[in-house]
């Protein structure tokens, strides 16, 4: 019995072997049916293969990630188009991953702003910041006028005369004033962000105003922009508008200078007082009636006569009377005083 028991496993193996052979005999030609242990081993091989493939893929991914870099690109203002190495890659703000490490050219464009160009170095395994502070694009303004030669001021600063092209401007509103002597000034607001407003023409119209100039003492010569307009008191009902350089001239005193701004429809009245350094000179002749020439200028006066507005200092005199020898000499005039000169003429033989 023990022996039979010990042979039972062998018997079972024989039966299983017979059964396997029977299945093999019954299977179609060329077909093979693996045994259970073989199928189990093959399943283990596939599982191991899949695990190895996953590990390899993860390793490759990590290696690739380790070799790449990132760029964080921003611009002020935002919404600008970004070009990386001449290739358009998006708009700001923009984060670019999987960028090859190394130096890259960055170009940022936005309408109305100057193109921003720069370079950046992408570092493996890190994110590099790129910040572009955009600059307004330069704009120009072309100004013409009829007639030409008018002064152009932008935001209160004179830029030149028409025809004029102002460059390097920003796309915003500007206050433009065009003025020409004798014509009414024209003010206009121009928006350079609108391309249709970059060319401006001004048609000027003549304009006048009342002008009155007085002085103390009177009799001063009125000179404006180098042209004499007469003596004080001076009144002109229709004087061309504009800015004028005024000079008042009076013998015995320093000239008075001023700038007159004559504006359309606004009467302008100016009063001036001379700081006189004058004196008087009383001249008499014997006999009376001699004509008087002073400092080389003949006068309409005859002796006796008193001059009241002579400059302080020495003056040359010349007296002449028919039938008598001419007389010449000097007289000294002091400020605030009247000097007296009496001349006895010699009769011709």
Q: What is the CATH number of the domain that holds 322?
A: 2.60.40.10
Total number of residues shown for the chain: 349
Of the residues 170, 203, 236, which one is the last residue of a structural domain?
203
61 within some domain: no
Alpha carbon distance 263, 179 (integer Å)? 11
- 125 and 170 fall within a common domain: no
pLDDT at position 334 is 87
17 within some domain: no
Contacts of 112 (CB under 8 A, 6+ apart): 136, 137, 171, 193
pLDDT at position 16 is 44
264 within some domain: yes
pLDDT at position 34 is 53
Alpha carbon distance 146, 178 (integer Å)? 11
Reference 171, options 73, 77, 74, 75; nearest CA is 77
- Rg of the chain taking only CA atoms, in angstroms: 55
322 within some domain: yes
219 within some domain: yes
Q: How crowded is the C-beta side of 82, counted as CA atoms within 13 Å?
A: 26
- 263 and 285 fall within a common domain: no
pLDDT at position 38 is 62
pLDDT at position 337 is 87
- 339 and 284 fall within a common domain: yes
pLDDT at position 189 is 96
Alpha carbon distance 230, 235 (integer Å)? 10
CA 340 centroid distance within chain: 68
Range of the domain at 96: 68-133
2 within some domain: no
Q: Domain tally for the chain?
A: 4
pLDDT at position 33 is 52
pLDDT single digits (tens) 107-118 = 999 987 889 999
300 within some domain: yes
3 within some domain: no
Of the residues 203, 236, 251, which one is the last residue of a structural domain?
203
- 227 and 177 fall within a common domain: no
Of the residues 218, 251, 273, which one is the last residue of a structural domain?
273
Q: Which residues of the chain have pLDDT under 50?
A: 1-13, 15-17, 19-31, 66
């Amino acid at each position: 019995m023990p022996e039979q028991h010990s042979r039972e496993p062998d018997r079972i193996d024989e039966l299983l072997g017979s059964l396997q052979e029977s299945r093999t005999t019954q299977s179609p030609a060329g077909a093979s049916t693996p045994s259970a242990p073989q199928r189990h081993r093959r399943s283990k091989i596939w599982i191991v293969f899949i695990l190895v493939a996953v590990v390899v893929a993860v390793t490759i991914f990590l290696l690739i990630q380790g070799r790449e870099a990132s760029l964080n690109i921003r611009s002020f203002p935002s919404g600008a188009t970004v070009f990386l190495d001449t290739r358009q890659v998006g708009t700001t703000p923009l984060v670019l991953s999987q960028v090859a490490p190394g130096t890259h050219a960055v170009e940022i464009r936005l309408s109305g702003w100057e193109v921003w160009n720069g370079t950046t170095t992408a570092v493996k395994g890190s994110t590099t910041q790129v910040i572009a502070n955009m600059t307004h694009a330069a704009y120009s303004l072309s100004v013409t006028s009829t007639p030409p030669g008018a002064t152009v001021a932008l935001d209160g600063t004179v830029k030149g005369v028409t025809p004029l092209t102002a460059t390097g401007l920003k796309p915003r509103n500007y206050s433009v004033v065009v003025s020409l002597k004798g014509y009414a000034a024209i003010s206009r607001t121009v928006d350079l962000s609108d391309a249709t407003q970059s060319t401006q023409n001004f048609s000027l119209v003549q304009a006048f105003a009342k002008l009155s100039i007085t002085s103390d003492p009177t009799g001063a010569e009125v000179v404006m922009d180098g042209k004499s307009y007469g003596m004080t008191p001076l009144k002109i009902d229709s004087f061309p508008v504009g800015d004028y350089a005024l000079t008042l001239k009076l013998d015995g005193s320093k000239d008075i200078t001023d700038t007159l701004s004559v504006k359309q429809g606004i009467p302008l009245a100016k009063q001036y007082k001379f700081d006189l350094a004058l004196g008087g000179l009383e001249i008499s002749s014997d006999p009376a009636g001699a004509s008087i020439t002073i400092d080389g200028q003949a006068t309409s006066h005859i002796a006796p006569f008193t001059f009241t507005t002579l400059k302080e200092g020495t003056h040359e005199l010349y007296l002449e009377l028919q039938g008598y020898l001419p007389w010449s000499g000097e007289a000294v005039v002091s400020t605030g005083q009247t000097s007296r000169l009496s001349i006895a003429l010699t009769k011709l033989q």
